[in-house]
Amino acid sequence: MSIDILKKQIKENKLQNIYLFHGAEEYLIKYYINAVQSLIVSEENSELNYIFFDGKTEEAAIIANCETMPIFSDKKLVVIKNSGLFKARKGDNDGGSSGKKAAKDTFSAYLENMPPYTCLIMVETAIDKRLKLVGTIKKYGLIVEFDFQKPADLVKWVTKVFGSYKKSIDRMAASYLVENSDYSMTELLNEIEKVVNFVGQRSEIVIKDIEEVCSKSIKSRIFDLTDAISEGNISKALNFLNDMAALKEPMQKVLFMIIRQIRMLYRIKLMRQKGMREDLVSKQLGLTPYVASKVMNISKSLDISVLEGAMYYSLELDEAIKTGRISDRVAIELLIASMG
């Protein structure tokens, strides 16, 4: 994996001249930018040898900043974030007007022969991998994708972060915190700080502490909704839906997550019918302890025929939404009612 290559390069202090970092996990992107910066730029010279741009940036400006020599140092770091150079626009065929194409070609050619004293890091949330510029960086530098981490890895990381505050948290509570987030490490850090401040001198963190100070995520609310369905309490399930609507949660996203959970419950029922142990089911599906405990309990209360019927009905509802016959909100209400 490219991130392993990056780790090795940082550890051995053998950095390349050009990097492209992309993905949704901003925490890791910042972490590795800081790691590279600490190798290249000293604290006393950081203002002279660290250049940062955030926003649309012309190729010529990037080249100009890469060309200037470092001051009182052997190397300099240039970080360009959200440049707009890695998105193909309709009709520009990886170039657009002759002037823009010439600028892109010049920039690509420049990256092939970067000055040895400059390390350039380009940072984007998303990239179009078909672009010539991406191909150039792949050939002459390193492209690293920073996706949200797997829930199981986040549980370990959360435990480690709490440990840095001299706090202990069991796996169930840690996984509850993870599942109440959008898997963003930055968001999780904020939630951890809330919990640490809330418990004060107490060293042990329990689920109740997290419930007291952390906002419920849409994922957690979907669990509450499906839990109510499994209890046969359709009115309660619809109340949870009303709560999500009041919080301005996108109904399309809510519907998608409900259907995804129904499919997960269906898979669990099939595996359990084949005699697979609960711990093996959890491992195969990559579930955290909190999610595993929730879905196992919910699955026990729902007949497999109900889940199968809901999956087929969701296809009909999807067609009705696409043809404009019903809204996402109505589709959710009908799906919930069908499982009662």
pLDDT (tens digit per residue) in 160-215: 999 999 999 999 999 999 988 888 999 999 999 999 999 999 999 999 999 999 88
Asked if residue 261 lies in contact with residue 230, where contact means CB atoms within 8 angstroms, the answer is no
Inter-residue contact 313 to 338 (CB < 8 Å)? yes
List the domains of the chain with CATH numbers. 2-145 (3.40.50.300), 151-213 (1.10.8.60), 218-338 (1.20.272.10)
Residue 311 pLDDT > 80: yes
Mean per-residue pLDDT over the chain, rounded = 92
Q: What is the pLDDT of residue 140?
A: 95
- For residue 89, the model assigns a pLDDT of 66
Q: Is the pLDDT of residue 99 over 80?
A: no
pLDDT above 70 covers a percentage of the chain that reads: 96
Averaged over 283-293, what is the pLDDT?
Answer: 89
Which string of b and e fits 249-275 if b means at least 16 CB within 10 Å?
bebeebbebbbebbebbbbbbebbeee
pLDDT of residue 167: 96
CB 60 within 8 A of CB 103: yes
Would you give the distance in Å from CA 212 to the centre of its chain?
A: 25
Cα–Cα distance between 174 and 253 in angstroms, integer? 25
> Is residue 312's pLDDT more than 70?
yes
Report the pLDDT averaged over residues 216-229: 88
The amino acid occupying position 48 is L
Q: What does pTM read for this prediction?
A: 0.81
Is the predicted pLDDT of residue 98 greater than 80, yes or no? Answer: no
- The Cα–Cα gap between 271 and 278 comes to 9
Place of tokens 């799906």: 335
Token readout for 22 is: 């992309």
pLDDT score for 87: 85
pLDDT class of 125 with cuts at 50, 70, 90:
very high
Q: What are 81-97's pLDDT values in tens digits? A: 999 899 876 555 554 56
Give how far the C-alpha of residue 168 lies from the chain's centroid of Cα atoms, to the nearest Å: 25
